[in-house]
Amino acid sequence: MSESLVTFHDVSRFYGEVLGINRVSLAIPPGVTSLVGPNGSGKTTLMNLMTGLIRPTEGEIRVLGVPPNQPGKLCRMVGYCAQFDAFPKGLTGYQFIYSYLLLHGFAPAESAARTRTAIERINMVGAANRPVAAYSKGMRQRVKLAQAIAHDPQVLVLDEPLNGLDPMARAETIALFQEWGGKGRHVIVSSHILHEVDRISDQVILLSQGYVVAEGAIQGVRDEVKEQPMQILVRTPRPEVLAARLFSQRCAVEARISADGKGLLLRTRDADATYLMLNRVVLEEGLEVESVAPADDDASSVYHYLIGAEGASV
Amino acid sequence: MNALWMRQLAAVWRLEWKKTLFSKRGWWIYCLALAPVFLTGMHWLIESHAHSRHHSLGDDSVAFAALFQFFYLRGAIFFGCMGLFSNLFRGEMLEHTLHYYYLTPLRREMLVAGKYLAGLAAALLLFVGGTVASFLLIGRHAGAAYTSYILHGPGLGQLAWYAVTAALACVGYGAIFLMTGLFFRNPMIAGAVVFVWEGVNPFLPSLLQKVSVIFYLRNLAPVEVPVPPPLNLMVIAADPTPAWLAVGGLLAVSALLLAYTAVSARTAEIGYGE
């Protein structure tokens, strides 16, 4: 089982006396996993540890069963798009990808073929022979991504990969992550853009001050946050009727009718009971309901509940 | 497997070679390497147009020996190698690009070897090339007599030893500065310490003189340079080392330093101080 997971067992990393991460235990399954947390929460430390760029002060890490101190094995199955916007001098986009494929041990012909495929994958065929130094920020970000995927890794680690991308490139990149994750590979992404975390992630890991605050599918994490009542948005022409019935049955702790008078935002401590009650009210009152949707089981809300005010600035 | 290593080594070399030799920041290294070529070229031009000859070939031979020992060995090659080799790791750490290497399955020993060979190729081209060009120019004003000195006299042998000594200086100082570039955040401090140690070498007890690169290089230089007074009174004459031992010793020490650098590169972390 651990052969298909990225595992951290009681891992701590200190930079001198400064805490990077503390006693982190994780088992990351295949799919798209987002690391979410404020600056300094330990996201990059976690990524650098799993790619072997730094070593843990304590604890044990395995990437698909391989410890990161075996770069010969690890680097064949891991691709890392690091946060640094830096490139070796004097190379074109093509040369940048090709040169590091040669270092992976591919023969020149295969390196050339893989380079072309990676460049096509990120839609940069026209700019491939231009120096990287002449690229825009978004192009540099994309060519870094191409370099990280060119050797076809099983585990793709990406530190803020959507930074600097225009909306079109952003959509294409997200599609790439989803395709990669859908093939049963690991895509581990750190991001500050919470609504995109919702779109791309199969699971999230929330970090704060070097500790893992929560991990799992977003809805599952939200369900665990018992102290915050769930929010449910119901679109209906008669929200006051619904609100009265829910209050009479003590299903809601708060209800707010929207400004257009056709929506009701409920806060409830028991979502399942509320949904049952909603069904009953619809049947008994003949209530017309356009939509029912949870309003706070997204990454942004979960982040706000668990990490708090720090999250507001993210 | 060996073919894989060779391919990886060649790939590192190719990436580093261009960067090392054609760096804009390395302009001062070209100046150091080519200054004697310029000076000896000027000497040729001036002496060729002088009405009466001022320098004999013997004078030129001693002048070149002094230029080689005091400018090339103690100055140009020392500082040039510091600039070239320290940057191989430190430069990439400052530019935040070293992680690209560390994210490949390349053996770290191969990385050290590839970088060292690229630096060495650049250093040999600049400094052995500069030495040879300067030697060929310094007596050029004597025309056929200098050609005869080179082809039929001691000139060719001297030229070969100067080239070997310059090459060994690049090998030795290159190994030192590749290592300091990996270990020290500011390799200038380590460079200054080595520079002082190498500079005071003739004034040290004979045993300590042997713990340096310059001692062996000085022994290999084909023409001795007389130390002017009053410094000659402070110089301690150490037993000269046979050429085979000087060459072998320098190569062995360089290999040891490189091996230590390779072992350290295996355990190096890439955090760029963040």
Nearest residue of B to residue A151, measured between CA atoms: B104
Going by C-beta distance under 8 Å and a sequence separation of 6 or more, which residues neighbour residue A116? none
Three-state DSSP class for B169? helix
In this predicted model, which residue has the larger pLDDT, A1 or B42?
A: B42
Q: Which two tokens stand for residue B252?
A: 């062995």
The one-letter amino acid code at A13 reads R
What is the pLDDT confidence band of residue A219, given thresholds at 50, 70 and 90?
confident
pLDDT category at A254 given cuts 50, 70, 90 is confident
Q: What would the mean pLDDT of A1-17 be, rounded to a whole number? A: 89
Specify if B139 maps to a domain: yes
| A147 close to B (CB below 8 A) | yes
Residue B116 or A310, more confident: B116
List pLDDT tens digits, range A13-58: 999 888 999 999 999 999 999 998 888 889 999 999 999 999 999 9
Interface membership of A67 toward B (CB under 8 Å): no
Q: Given pLDDT bands bounded at 50, 70 and 90, which one contains residue A195?
A: confident
Q: For testing the chain B interface, which of A103, A104, A157, A158 should be mutated: the one with the most B CBs within 10 Å?
A: A103
Q: Which residues from B are below 8 Å from A79, CB to CB?
A: 103
Considering only the beta carbons, identify the residue of A48, A84, A104 that sits closest to B105: A104
Q: Is B112 a domain residue?
A: yes
- From B4, B18, B103, residue closest to A51, measured CB to CB: B103
A61, A110 Cβ separation under 8 angstroms: no
pLDDT tens column, B241-269: 788 888 998 899 999 999 999 999 998 99
B78 pLDDT band, cuts 50/70/90, is very high
What pLDDT is stored for residue A296 in this prediction?
A: 76
Strands A31-36 and A203-208: parallel
Q: Which residue has the higher pLDDT, A300 or B166?
A: B166
The CA R_g of chain B, rounded to the nearest whole Å, is 20
Whether A313 shows a pLDDT value over 60: the answer reads no
Q: How confident is the model at residue B187 (pLDDT cuts 50, 70, 90)?
A: confident
CB contact under 8 A, A48 and B271: yes
Of A55, A90, A100, the CB nearest to B100: A100
What domains can you pick out in chain A, each with its CATH number?
2-223 (3.40.50.300), 229-295 (3.30.70.100)
In chain A, where does DSSP find H-type helix?
A: 43-50, 71-77, 93-103, 108-121, 137-149, 167-182, 194-200, 218-224, 239-248, 271-285, 299-307, 309-312
Q: Is the pLDDT of residue A133 over 90?
A: yes
**For chain B, how many structural domains are there in total?**
1
Q: Could you read off the pLDDT of A149-192 as tens digits, one per residue? A: 999 999 999 999 988 888 888 888 999 999 999 999 999 999 87
Window from A58-72, A76-90, A229-243 with minimum mean pLDDT: A229-243
User: Which pLDDT band, with edges at 50, 70 and 90, does B175 fall under?
Assistant: very high
Average pLDDT, chain B: 88
Strands of A211-216's sheet in order across? A78-81, A155-159, A186-190, A31-36, A203-208, A211-216
Q: Which of residues 152-181 of A touch B (CB under 8 A)?
A: none
**Residue B250 resides in a domain:** yes
Residue A311 binned pLDDT confidence (cut-offs 50, 70, 90): very low
User: What's the rounded Cα separation, in Å, for the pair A205 and A216?
Assistant: 7
Q: What is the pLDDT of residue B140?
A: 86
What count of Cα atoms within 13 Å lies in the side-chain half-sphere of residue A88? 26
Stated as kind and residue range, the H or E segment containing B252 is helix B243-267
Q: What is the mean pLDDT of residues B60-68?
A: 89
Res. A312: pLDDT tops 60? no
Q: Which residue, among B101, B138, B113, B130, has the nearest Cα to B30 in the 3D structure?
A: B130
CA distance A27 to chain B (A): 22
Cβ contacts of A99 on chain B, cutoff 8 Å: 11, 14-15
Which band of pLDDT confidence, cut at 50, 70 and 90, is reported for residue B162? very high
- Cβ neighbours of B15 in A, within 8 Å: 88, 99
CB burial class (10 A; 0-12, 13-18, 19+) of residue A290?
exposed
pLDDT value of residue B1: 54
Which residues does chain A have within 8 Å of residue B9's beta carbon, measured at their own beta carbons?
none
In the prediction, which pLDDT does B50 show?
73
Contact present, A104 and A151 (Cβ < 8 Å): yes
Average pLDDT of span A287-303: 79
Taking a C-beta distance cutoff of 8 angstroms, is the pair A263, A238 a contact? no
Closest chain A residue to B110 measured between Cα atoms? A103
Do the chains contact at B101 and A84, CB–CB below 8 Å?
A: no
CB contact under 8 A, B269 and A51: no
Answer whether residue B227 is part of any domain.
yes
Residues of B with CB under 8 A from a CB of A: 4, 7-8, 10-12, 14-15, 18-19, 22-23, 92, 95-97, 99-108, 269-272
d(CA A30, CA A225) in angstroms, rounded, equals 25
A99 in contact with B at a CB cutoff of 8 Å?
Answer: yes
Contact B271 A105 (CB under 8 A): no
pLDDT of residue A218: 78
The partner residue sitting opposite B19, judged by closest CB among A48, A54, A89, is A89
Is residue B220 in a domain? yes
Is residue B274 situated within a structural domain?
no
Q: In chain B, what percentage of residues exceed pLDDT 90?
A: 49
Contacts of B273 in chain A (CB under 8 A): none
Instruction: Please report the pLDDT score of residue A155 as a whole number.
Output: 97
Say yes or no for a CB contact (<8 Å) between A102 and B11.
yes
Structure confidence at residue B172 (pLDDT): 94
Under the banding of pLDDT at 50, 70 and 90, the label for residue A309 is low
Asked if A45 has any chain B CB less than 8 Å from its own CB, the reply is no
Cα–Cα dist A243/A264, whole Å: 7
Q: Does the beta carbon of A56 lie under 8 angstroms from any beta carbon of chain B?
A: no
CA distance A148 to A69: 19
Query: What secondary structure does DSSP assign to B95-142, as a single string?
Result: HT-HHHHHTS---HHHHHHHHHHHHHHHHIIIIIHHHHHHHHHHTGGG
pLDDT of residue B167: 96
> Is B272 within a domain?
no
Position B52 confidence tier, pLDDT thresholds 50, 70, 90: low
Collapse the DSSP code of A166 into the 3-class scheme (helix H, G, I; strand E, B; otherwise coil) and give the result.
Answer: coil
E strand or H helix that includes residue B20 = helix B2-21
**What is the pLDDT, as a whole number, of residue A95?**
96
Whether B273 is covered by a domain: the verdict is no
Cβ A231 vs Cβ A265: under 8 Å: yes
Mean pLDDT over A88-98 rounds to 94
Which residues of chain A does B18 touch, with a Cβ-Cβ cutoff of 8 Å? Answer: 90
The minimum CA-CA distance between B166 and chain A, rounded to whole Å, is 29
Contact status, residue A44 vs residue A36, Cβ threshold 8 Å:
no
Which residue type does A209 have?
Q
Give the domain extent around B181. Answer: 2-267
Smallest CA–CA distance, residue A102 to chain B, in Å, is 6
Q: How many CA atoms lie less than 13 Å away from B112 in the CB half-sphere?
A: 27
Give tens-digit pLDDT for B210-245: 788 888 888 888 887 776 666 565 556 666 778 888
**B158 sits in which H/E element:** helix B155-183
Please choose, from the candidates A276, A301, A44, the residue with its C-alpha nearest in 3D space to the C-alpha of residue A198. Answer: A301
Q: Provide the total of helices (H) and of strands (E) in chain A, helices listed first.
A: 12, 13
CA A47 – CA A68 distance, rounded (Å): 11
Between the alpha carbon of residue B186 and those of residues B83, B89, B111, the distances in Å are 12, 12, 21
Q: Check B270 against A80: CB less than 8 A apart.
A: no
In angstroms, rounded to a whole number, what is the distance separating the alpha carbons of residues A126 and B43? 53
Q: What percent of chain A has pLDDT over 70?
A: 97
Mean pLDDT of B168-193: 91
- At A314 the pLDDT is 39
Chain A residue with Cα closest to B9: A103
- Whole-number percent of chain B with pLDDT over 70: 92
The whole-number pLDDT of residue B104 equals 95
- Mean pLDDT, residues A236-260 taken together: 84
